[in-house]
């Protein structure tokens, strides 16, 4: 045990001295900075677009355009009648905006219960060939029940300003697909091959520790470094989002556990295959809870991401080649997943399971048309992690490292 601890300490010192660690860390912080600035700018644009002043200007312009169309003698009378009705509705909206009234109505618990009963009735009345629509309706019922349970009175038609939790969720969904895996493999893809390229592997093997212990020490160091890197990235992201958007929005609803299934339906006179919603195992939780759980899942997936990069470093002697190989596996795996939607064999790819937050919510199943659960993805990642490490260990202990 002391030998392994000594190896980890030595590897950690070497890792901190490498430029790669600093480059990856700075790259991570740069991505967080760019995302934060871009999100803040986009949120401000949306706020401006939905501001009463902008809405009033848009509605007034629309009224002027309708008046011009109604006065045009070349437009048929029947069309003008529709325009007059549209003008009346537009004028009513303009009057509400000028008076400062909200665009919608706050839904009380009684109103939400009425909506739930109406949706349940609609589900019962669905024709047999449209039963596939019930999943979306059941998901809506779950959201309304969440509002009632938490004594919330949402305005379902009103503009909801961007929140820090919403932005963090977006970053998790996007980052877990490509960014986090690339950062993890880029950090550790030369842990073994770098020693061979630099010729220091001979000094390392001169230690009394066995090859297995040396490799295990390097592997543990790689895991610790990657987890710290991802944790720092997520911490910096959270701090930036809280500073820009505040901490509101924790209680916003987020549906998890949604599954999907294929259904043959008649649409436009033709039989088409759709991916319908199965909400039988779904539930609604606070968005903030989902984000925190998503962070933990991302850190857990980092173990598999790191193992992939570490495996590549044991397969070749060149640090440049092992790094390129690891990054190529991540990029190609992501591309294959995108272009081969609906193929069950995608479950065999480790990159399919890296995005655990989206699998947790069920969005991966919708995006890639896969029947997959969080438990299944966890088992796949554990299997890949064990297999890649054992193969890498066999390679490291059997190959001629001194030749």
What's the whole-number mean pLDDT along residues 60-80? 81
Among 41-50, 198-207, 244-253, 358-367, top mean pLDDT goes to: 244-253
In our burial notation (b when 16+ CB lie closer than 10 A, e otherwise), range 309-347 reads: bbbbbbbbbebebbbebbbebbeebbeebeeeeeeeebe
* Six-digit token string for 103: 């665009």
Across the range 141-151, mean pLDDT stands at 94
- Secondary structure of 234-279 in HEC code, one letter for each residue: HHHHHHHHHHHHCCCCCCCEEEECCEEEEEEEEECCEEEEEEEEEC
Model confidence pTM above 0.75: yes
> Does residue 275 surpass a pLDDT of 80?
no
Q: Which ranges of 50-126 would DSSP assign to H, the alpha helix?
A: 52-71, 77-99, 109-124
Beta bridge partners of 284: 255
Residue 392 and residue 310 in contact, taking contact as beta carbons nearer than 8 Å: yes
The pLDDT score that the predictor gives to residue 393 is 92
pLDDT of residue 54: 78
Per-residue pLDDT for 392 more than 70?
yes
Strand pairing class (270-278; 283-286): unpaired
Q: Which helix (H) or strand (E) holds 285?
A: strand 283-286
- Phi, psi torsion values for 160, nearest 5 degrees: -100, 115
Q: Each residue of 328-339: pLDDT tens digit?
A: 999 998 888 888
- How do strand 253-256 and strand 259-267 relate by DSSP bridges? unpaired
Burial class from Cβ neighbours inside 10 Å (0-12, 13-18, 19+) for residue 293 reads: middle
| Contact in structure between 278 and 261 (CB atoms under 8 Å) | yes
Give percent of the chain with pLDDT exceeding 90. 43
What's the mean pLDDT in 4-21?
A: 82
Judge whether residue 403 has pLDDT over 60.
Answer: no
pLDDT, mean of residues 89-95: 79
Between CA 177 and CA 359 the distance in angstroms is 11
* CB-based burial, 199-210: b 16+ in 10 Å, e otherwise: eebeebeeeebe
Question: Which range among 20-29, 103-112, 216-225 shows the weakest confidence by mean pLDDT?
Answer: 103-112
State the pairing for strand pair 253-256/283-286. antiparallel
Asked if pLDDT for residue 158 goes beyond 70, the answer is no
- Provide the b/e sequence for 23-47 (b: ≥16 CB within 10 Å): ebbeebeebbeebbeebbeebeeee
- Across the chain, mean pLDDT equals 86
| Structure tokens, 190 | 């030369």
What pLDDT is recorded for position 100? 66
Rounded Cα distance, 163 and 285, in Å: 16
Alpha carbon 234 to chain centroid, angstroms: 13
The tens digit of pLDDT for each residue in 312-327 reads 999 988 888 999 999 9
Instruction: Return all residues near 298 (Cβ < 8 A) that are at least 6 apart.
Output: 172, 175, 176, 180, 230, 234, 356, 357
pLDDT grade for 101, boundaries at 50, 70 and 90:
low
């Amino acid at each position: 045990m002391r030998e392994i601890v000594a190896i980890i300490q030595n590897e950690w010192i070497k890792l901190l001295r490498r430029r790669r660690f600093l480059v990856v860390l700075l790259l991570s912080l740069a991505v967080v900075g760019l995302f934060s600035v871009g999100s803040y700018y986009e949120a401000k644009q949306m706020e401006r677009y939905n501001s009463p002043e902008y809405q009033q200007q848009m509605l007034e312009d629309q009224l002027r355009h309708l008046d011009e169309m109604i006065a045009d003698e070349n437009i048929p009378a029947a069309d003008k009648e529709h325009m007059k009705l549209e003008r009346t509705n537009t004028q009513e909206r303009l009057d509400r905006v000028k008076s400062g009234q909200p665009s919608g109505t706050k839904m009380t618990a009684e109103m939400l219960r009425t909506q739930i009963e109406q949706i349940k009735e609609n589900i019962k009345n669905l024709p047999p060939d449209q039963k596939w629509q019930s999943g979306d309706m059941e998901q809506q019922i779950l959201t309304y029940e969440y509002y009632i349970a938490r004594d919330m009175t949402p305005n379902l038609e009103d503009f909801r300003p961007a929140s820090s939790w919403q932005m963090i969720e977006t970053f998790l969904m996007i980052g877990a697909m490509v960014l986090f895996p690339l950062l993890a493999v880029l950090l550790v893809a030369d842990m073994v091959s770098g020693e061979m390229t630099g010729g220091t592997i001979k000094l390392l093997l001169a230690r009394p520790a066995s090859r297995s212990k040396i490799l295990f020490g390097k592997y543990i160091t790689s895991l610790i470094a990657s987890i710290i890197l991802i944790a720092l990235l997520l911490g910096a992201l959270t701090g930036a989002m809280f500073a820009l958007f505040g901490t509101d929005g924790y209680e916003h609803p987020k549906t998890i556990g949604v599954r999907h299934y294929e259904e043959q339906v008649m649409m436009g006179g033709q039989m088409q295959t759709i991916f319908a919603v199965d909400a039988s195992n779904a539930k609604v939780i606070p968005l903030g809870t989902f984000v925190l759980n998503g962070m933990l899942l991302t850190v857990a997936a980092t173990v598999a991401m790191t193992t992939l990069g570490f495996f590549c470093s044991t397969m070749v002697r060149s640090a440049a080649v092992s790094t390129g190989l690891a990054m190529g596996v991540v990029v190609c795996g992501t591309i294959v997943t995108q272009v081969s939607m609906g193929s069950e064999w995608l479950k065999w790819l480790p990159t399919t399971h890296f995005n655990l937050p989206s699998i947790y919510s069920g969005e991966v199943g919708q995006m890639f048309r896969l029947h997959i659960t969080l438990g299944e993805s966890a088992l796949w990642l554990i299997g890949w992690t064990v297999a890649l490490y054992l193969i890498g260990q066999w390679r490291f202990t059997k190959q001629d490292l001194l030749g």
